[in-house]
Amino acid sequence: MTGDLDTYRQQLVFALRVNDVPAARIGEAVAEVESHVADTGEDPVTAFGQPAEYARRLGESLGATGRPLSGSVNFIVAVTSFAACAVAGTSLLDGEPVPAAVAVAVLAALGFWLWRRRAVDRIVDPRTGATLALPLPRWALVVLAVSVAGLLVTSALLR
């Protein structure tokens, strides 16, 4: 990995989220890395190690996780979203409005829940109080596009 701070920051935030580190501590960890790199000019990998390893060490040092059962909740939300998309797609292709409407309502409810959850999961820079905004990786958009296309093709084939 190169010493690119933006790349390191993105990978660190992702790894800390995977390790269920609380959002407040994530903000502190990112601020520590940014301050150290700004003060010393040292490569973040040299100073802190690989982002995944550093996140694992931080998670272990905290003991308890930030959100109990968050992995299970995320899995349930993902499966429910996928199922609702499949039901909506097949129902629309079959001309059945009621199941499609129910599936769209489930997706809307999940979207609203995720929107409300973002305030709880907000990562704040302790130095400035600003919300840490990370750009959406391009691969996430590709995965979304391929998933939607796959659902539509699957729905058409099941018809």
H/E run at residue 94: helix 70-94
Please check whether residue 33 is in contact with residue 44, taking contact to mean a CB–CB distance below 8 angstroms.
Answer: yes
Percentage of residues of the chain with pLDDT beyond 90: 28
Give the amino acid at 146: V
Q: How confident is the model at residue 134 (pLDDT cuts 50, 70, 90)?
A: confident
Q: Determine which helix (DSSP H) or strand (DSSP E) holds 155, and give its type and residue range.
A: helix 138-158
Query: In sequence order, what DSSP letters do the residues of 42-82 get, joined into one string?
Result: --HHHHH--HHHHHHHHHHHH-S-SSTTHHHHHHHHHHHHH
pLDDT at 72 over 90: no
Of 19-23, 63-67, 104-108, least confident by mean pLDDT is 63-67
pLDDT value at residue 148: 80
Give the whole-angstrom CA distance, residue 135 versus residue 133. 7
